Amino acid sequence: MSTGQEECARQWSPDGAGNGTHVALKGANSSATECTRDEIKHKLVSALKTVAPNAQNIGLEELWALASQIEVNLFQQTLTLDDESNKINKLRDLESKHQQQQQIGIDFAASQQGQGAPPSVFEDYKKLAQSGGQLRTGYTHQYADMDPSVDRSAAREFRAKCRSGEHTGQSSGFVMGFVQCNLVILPKENAFDFLSFALRNPKACPLLSVTSPGDPCPRNIAPGADIRTDIPKYRIWRDGKMSEEVTDITSLWTDDMVAFLVGCSFSWEGLLADAGLCPRHVEEGVNVPMFRTNLKNDKVGPFEGDLVVTFRPYATDKVAEVAAITSQYPGAHGGPIHWGDPSVLGLDDLTKPDWGDAVTIKEGEVPMFWACGISPQTAIMGAKLPLAITHAPGHMFIADVLDCELKVAV
């Protein structure tokens, strides 16, 4: 019997605690060790990969689901290959179906056990987010405004290309060193509720600018800019549904509209690249993967929605460094809210983002997640306002502010 078959055939028993959260692994050649139920599934995934040689090409969702089914049976009976032969056959069938899928092979168990990566900060984030006690913008007392001696022409030139229609694509990787912003435009009657919403959800909505009603210029971050034309692509929302994407919203602008500019994680991607930690989507020339989680935003008026996160995979020994770098930029979502098991966020397939593009996930890498400025768009869906305008995912407003000007000591 192969190593993988032996793994599948081992007996598992409850840990005696009565809650079923751990089991003791007992094998012919192994001493009993305590394992969480998720760890059991991680081991089963590895075992199933051994049984089916091309299992690395199978979608993570299906592979995890199979492991979950088998794991449930472990609490009811001894697992043998004969008992679960139908599931193994199904696994082999899935191989041919997914020959073109990228290789997955993420060792979630290693990340959860802290082998090379520190424990996730998720519980701390969740406790703070649910406290209702947050109220801040994307700035801190360390922000000293824009240095007038700095050449900021690169940002202005990019906006001019957007205005002329020369650039209509995503903005990740462009004008490195300058702050990128998410956009929300609402009628004045809804502006106060949204302002409060942003202040109470600062991780997802680090507020950098609010325009006066009818004024299309975010003067404190981009003097001379025109928010109606200077973004590569906009989304138009009617009654909570995205009705169209356009590259110019001048015809929709009215004297009572208020624009909100919210920080974006694209701002620190150049800093990661400079540190030898280039995000995978930048390497592959695609948009960052974005996922809608099972976490609710703090509700204000009609605005709530679900927290959206961006996803970037990193080797376990790089997690702490990536978290430390990004945590210095609260005006760009700051550090990650979680790394490790994506099911904590209600995610089960990292190859199928809700927005953006899938990226290659290498064996042994840890998934890392940051709050995302698409979160307000889920709030707009729920609010069902007659009209709202946002940027298209990945198509950001580039401000005159430098990334380093938002950096804080942590």
What pLDDT, in 10s, does the model give residues 318-331?
999 999 999 999 99
Contact status, residue 379 vs residue 373, Cβ threshold 8 Å: no
Quote the pLDDT of residue 40: 52
Q: Which residue has the higher pLDDT, 25 or 60?
A: 60
- The top-level CATH class assigned to 122-406 is alpha beta
User: CA of 356: how far to CAs of 25, 170, 177, 265, 350, in Å?
Assistant: 40, 10, 22, 14, 12
Report strand pairing: 290-296 vs 338-339.
unpaired
CA distances from 109 to 32, 65, 141, 388 (A): 18, 16, 40, 43
Structure confidence by residue, pLDDT tens digits, 62-91: 545 554 444 343 333 333 334 444 544 544
Taking the C-alpha atoms of residue 285 and residue 170, their distance in angstroms, rounded to an integer, is 10
Per-residue confidence (pLDDT) for residue 128, from 0 to 100: 85
CA-CA distance, 188 to 206, in Å (whole number)? 20
Q: In the prediction, which pLDDT does 86 show?
A: 52
CB neighbours of residue 210 within 10 Å: 17
Confidence of residue 409 (pLDDT cuts 50, 70, 90): confident
**CB atoms inside a 10 Å sphere around CB 109:** 20
Q: Cβ contacts of residue 24 below 8 Å, gap of 6+?
A: 12, 13, 15, 32, 33, 34, 35
Stretch 195-204: mean pLDDT, rounded? 95
Give the per-residue pLDDT at 139: 87
* Residues whose CB falls within 8 Å of the CB of residue 177, separated by 6 or more in sequence, listed in order: 154, 270, 402, 403, 404
User: 51-65, 114-128, 147-161, 239-253: which has the minimum mean pLDDT?
Assistant: 51-65
Q: Is the per-residue pLDDT at 390 higher than 50?
A: yes
And the tokens for 112? 């959860």
Q: What is the maximal distance between C-alpha atoms in the chain?
A: 76
User: In this predicted model, which residue has the larger pLDDT, 247 or 77?
Assistant: 247
| DSSP code for 206 | -
**The pLDDT of residue 43:** 53
What whole-number distance in Å separates Cα of residue 339 and Cα of residue 331? 20
Q: Phi/psi at 266 (nearest 5 deg)?
A: -60, -25
Q: What is the mean pLDDT of residues 253-269?
A: 94
pLDDT for res 124? 87
Residue intervals in the chain for CATH 3.30.2040.10: 122-406
Query: How far apart are alpha carbons 174 and 398 in whole angstroms?
Result: 9
Averaged pLDDT for residues 370-387: 95
> 288-342: per-residue pLDDT in tens?
999 999 999 999 999 999 999 999 999 999 999 999 999 999 999 999 999 999 9
Mean pLDDT of 35-62: 50
